[in-house]
Amino acid sequence: MSDNERYFRDARTLMVDGQIRPNNIADDRVITAMRTIRRERFCPPAQTGRAYSDADLPLGHGRFMPAPLTIARLAQAAATHPGTRVLVVGANTGYGAAVLASGGAAVVALEEDDALRAMAAEALAAEAADVRLVAGPLAAGAPAQAPFDVIVIEGAVDMLPAAFAAQLAPGGRLVTILNDDGIGRLVVAEAVGGAFAHRTLADRNAPLLASFQRKAAFSF
């Protein structure tokens, strides 16, 4: 093992023991994934030194790689098991999709940004080759691959997209961070009559995804 590999291995251990486990992440599959998957491979070269920091990493064009604890909370809330069909919306460079796939879920990762999708393709080939990476507008979801047992939106949203309800299998759920007047709340939502009813699990802020940002009302 090279010094560089040893450095990142130790950083992964510190991330899990210092950021993840003390914050009520108890899902063994999530913890094992985050101990194993090389997060640095999903970072732009200029950000690899911060791969395991407790911070959202800028990816350019207003997009971010969510902090490790955000990924852990989303993955734990998704409550997947081997064979669960999962759509990750806003997959950026693919790390969250890799964490979910590590637990045996069948993951489709949707990303609309060409540069981010190219980074994801390279990283996923090395770390989670079973993830299916697809291109398309985030707000549209992935109807061609539906239905899904779980849809995870990897970032904050101003509203729960009603269009996603039709892409869930019966009993399916949507997991994301709902922005409520500047306060982020991790929510799990179920489709009810073509819309969503949700419950809050915890407070958690994350960068807002522009595709799910409420348009400002015009006023005089």
**Which CATH number fits the domain that encloses residue 75?**
3.40.50.150
Q: Is residue 21 part of a domain?
A: yes
Q: Is the dihedral of CA 199, 83, 131, 80 positive or negative?
A: positive
User: Average model confidence (pLDDT) for the chain?
Assistant: 95
Cis previous bond, 66, omega within 30: no
Instruction: Write down the pLDDT at residue 193.
Output: 85
Q: Is residue 175 part of a domain?
A: yes
Backbone angles phi, psi at 129, to 5 degrees: -65, -15
Question: Could you give the number of structural domains in the chain?
Answer: 1
Q: How many other C-beta atoms can be found within 10 angstroms of the C-beta atom of residue 140? A: 16
The mean pLDDT of 70-76, rounded to a whole number, is 98
Which domain range does residue 23 map to? 3-212
Q: Is residue 148 part of a domain?
A: yes
E strand map for the chain: 57-60, 63-65, 85-89, 106-111, 132-135, 148-157, 168-180, 183-192, 195-203
Q: Is residue 135 part of a domain?
A: yes
Pairwise pLDDT comparison (194 vs 211), residue with the higher score: 211
Q: How confident is the model at residue 210 (pLDDT cuts 50, 70, 90)?
A: very high
Backbone angles phi, psi at 165, to 5 degrees: -60, -40
Q: Is residue 79 part of a domain?
A: yes
Q: Is residue 157 part of a domain?
A: yes
Instruction: Write down the pLDDT at residue 1.
Output: 78
Q: Model-level pTM? A: 0.95
